[in-house]
Amino acid sequence: MEARARILARIRKALKERPKALLPELPHHALPADPLDLFLRRLAENGAEGRLLDQEGALALLRELAQGLPGAAYGRGVPEGFRPLPELPPEEAPLGVSWALFAVAETGSVALSSEDGRKAQLLPPTHLVLVERERVYPTLLEAFQDHKALPSALGLHSGPSKSADIGQVMVKGVHGPGRLWVVVLT
């Protein structure tokens, strides 16, 4: 604890004469009436593929994506009905399917909880995320206001994994999934 005491003492000494700055209020956002449109647009701009589908349509898309694949890795929250393929370990699965905690229109992001898992969100080259329509927030601010009790890890995913570190050329799927599908369930 020695370093702790020394560091805190130095901070207190440094701040003794310093005028205290006030914490600004949180901003008020002008919210879009229906964030769904914005969410799908932003997803596309981020290089992800977003769809608004009912249960049947979602299953049809899932089957289409799954064609020819030996299996998929599933998040714990993915309902039985959305598991058309045999389950494979995430290390081997060509497809990962997750159930999102929420989504954010402003940034085109899905929020994935560690309660759903982690490997299925990161290791397969293609990632399909399911999110319920009423869980699409207009802004990050509102989403955080509603989720003060966070899981041990929350991942915000806003598109496929990418890097321009090699000669400034954009490469997809560097470590994480190179394709991101998001299905908003009606």
Binding site for another protein (CB under 8 A): 1, 3-4, 6-8, 10-15, 17-24, 26-27, 42, 46, 91, 106-109, 114-115, 117-119, 121-122, 139-141, 143-145, 148, 150-169, 171, 173-177
Q: The tokens 């319920």 sit on which residue? A: 132
By the 8 A CB rule, do 94 and 128 touch? Answer: no
Q: Which is nearer to another protein, 58 or 90 (CB)?
A: 90
Distance in angstroms (rounded) separating the CA atoms of residues 27 and 68? 49
- Residue 10: strand pairing partners: none
Q: Closest separation between CB of residue 60 and another protein, Å? A: 28
Q: In the complex, what is the shortest distance from the CB of residue 186 to another protein, in angstroms, rounded to a whole number?
A: 25
CB of 130 to another protein, least distance (A): 19
Closer of 62 and 116 to another protein (Cβ): 116
Length of the chain: 186
Please say which residue, 18 or 80, places its beta carbon nearer to another protein.
18
Evaluate whether 101 touches 134 at the Cβ level (below 8 Å).
no
The CA distance from 147 to 84, in Å, is 31
Residue 26 CB, shortest distance to another protein, in Å, is: 5
φ, ψ of residue 113 in degrees (nearest 5): -90, 150
Joined together, the tokens standing for residue 176 give 């994480």
CA–CA dist 71, 18 (Å, integer) = 61
Looking at residue 58, the DSSP 8-state letter turns out to be: H
Cβ distance to another protein smaller for residue 58 or 96: 96
Residue type, 122: L
Smallest separation (angstroms) from another protein to the CB of 179: 13
Closest to another protein by CB, 16 vs 56, is 16
